[in-house]
Amino acid sequence: EDLGFNYLGPIDGHDMQQLLYVLRAAKFRSTGPTLIHVCTKKGHGYAPAENSADKYHGVSKFNVQTGQQSKAPANAPSYTSVFGKSLLEEAKLDTRVVGITAAMPSGTGINIMAKELPERVFDVGIAEQHAVTFAAGLAAGGMKPFCAIYSTFLQRAYDQIVHDVALQNLPVRFAIDRAGLVGADGATHAGVFDISYMSNIPNMTVMAASDEAELVHMVRTASEFDQGPIAFRYPRGNGTGVQLPQRGEVLEIGKGRIIQEGSDLVILSFGAHLNIVKDAEVALNQMGVSVTIADARFAKPLDVELVNQLMKNHPCMLTVEQGSMGGFGSIVLQHINKNRSKNKNLIFDSIFVADKFIDQADVSSMYEDA
């Protein structure tokens, strides 16, 4: 009120008669900016929602009587659970490993670690900026913080990533969940910008898991990496069903891998769509096109030796990513343009998410639209 606001409340937001009266009064009687203080309870009147602190704000099909949400049986664990279990294993072996979440413990898999090591997990609330700066402070103190945040929400903390982490070259580990298009959560939750906005920051290392086993390796790699900030991205949903290692291997920084070799076209993949690339290879092979498949693993630092080798040995190159323009494909193209002498006739193209916001749909339909 000292700032010139009209203040009304607090009022019961579940009392429709009172709420409508106050809203009408604010509309017709207020002479300046008005703050209406409305108190509500999440899930009011529906016990399963009232009793679940971090669920039921967005739901899929569910049983009204029990509150149980319908899910098809999974043939593989979710990427989120694989991350959570891998983080717990690293934390058991190294007391410096801590987990940080911004009000999304179950959504990010941090709750798996919290159940066994609650004193080393920090939920800072819906405050991604604080989560990142807090992680920077822990890293400066010799800890190994894993900051687990959805790709779309990490955007909120970009200033802190740049100034509090990267500028200081602090070894904060960014576990970027919900990378790529996410289906039912729609355009607001699409995690398509992180490759671009993380890769252009000095000192940052950026990885993407092609399957759940690779994610286990990247958690271990991030845990062992103390030279600066490092990020690894992975999608919503279940993995591919590959066998998981008991503990991940430490990947060589900036090194990709060749999955299979061909001669006509190389598909350089970055992210969790390797199985789709393999399906494309089968279709192309039936058309008489011999395809090399490579998994980049790193967008930054780019495996320039691998790219040079692929340039030299193939007439055509295609990059594939689950991210926006200005991402992995652009990084590869910049390198190619600086090294055209290795293959002046190379034909290059990129597949990335279209420069538009994709409407809500199932994931496969969203990628068709993209």
Residues 220 and 273 in one domain: no
Residues 217 and 316 in one domain: no
Report d(CA 124, CA 309) in Å as an integer.
46
pLDDT in tens, 99-137: 999 999 999 999 999 999 999 999 999 999 999 999 999
CA distances from 41 to 63, 117, 172 (A): 21, 30, 36
Say if strands 257-260 and 291-295 run parallel, antiparallel, or are unpaired.
antiparallel
Residues 201 and 332 in one domain: no
**Mean local confidence (pLDDT), 40-54:** 84
Say what percent of the chain tops pLDDT 90: 81
Largest CA distance in the chain: 76
pLDDT in tens, 273-329: 999 999 999 999 999 999 999 999 999 999 999 999 999 999 999 999 999 999 999
Note whether 328 and 277 are within 8 A (CB): no
Residues 92 and 218 in one domain: yes
Is 67 a member of any domain?
A: no
Residues 83 and 229 in one domain: yes
- Which pLDDT value is given to residue 105? 96
Is 361 a member of any domain?
A: yes
55 a catalytic residue: no
Residues 272 and 318 in one domain: yes
- Domain of 287, in residue numbers: 257-369
Report d(CA 319, CA 296) in Å as an integer.
10
Residues 134 and 96 in one domain: yes
pLDDT at 269 over 70: yes
Report d(CA 12, CA 224) in Å as an integer.
51
**Mean local confidence (pLDDT), 353-361:** 91
Q: Average pLDDT over the chain, rounded to whole?
A: 94
Among candidate residues 85, 96, 120, 156, the one labeled active-site is 156
| CATH number (domain holding residue 297) | 3.40.50.920
Is 30 a member of any domain?
A: yes
Residues 149 and 197 in one domain: yes
This prediction has a pTM of 0.88
Residues 179 and 268 in one domain: no
- Torsion, CA 210, CA 216, CA 221, CA 223, rounded to 10: 140
Is 316 a member of any domain?
A: yes
Residue labelled with tokens 């579940």: 14
| CATH number (domain holding residue 178) | 3.40.50.970
CA distances from 124 to 12, 99, 138 (A): 28, 11, 14
CA distances from 171 to 139, 168, 233, 240 (A): 6, 9, 16, 30
Is 65 a member of any domain?
A: no
Considering 233, 268, 286, which residue would you say is the last residue of a domain?
233
Residues 86 and 200 in one domain: yes
Among candidate residues 42, 115, 247, 255, the one labeled active-site is 42
Note whether 194 and 150 are within 8 A (CB): no
Is 61 a member of any domain?
A: no
Residues 213 and 262 in one domain: no
Peptide bond preceding 229: is omega within 30 degrees of 0, i.e. cis? no
Is 62 a member of any domain?
A: no
The full DSSP string for 97-165 is: EEEEESS-HHHHTHHHHHHH-GGGEEE--S-HHHHHHHHHHHHHTT-EEEEEEEHHHHGGGHHHIIIII
Number of domains in the chain: 3
Among candidate residues 89, 128, 212, 214, the one labeled active-site is 128
Is 106 a member of any domain?
A: yes
156 a catalytic residue: yes
Residues 229 and 278 in one domain: no
pLDDT band at 73 (very low <50, low <70, confident <90, very high): low
pLDDT in tens, 13-41: 999 999 999 999 999 888 889 999 999 99
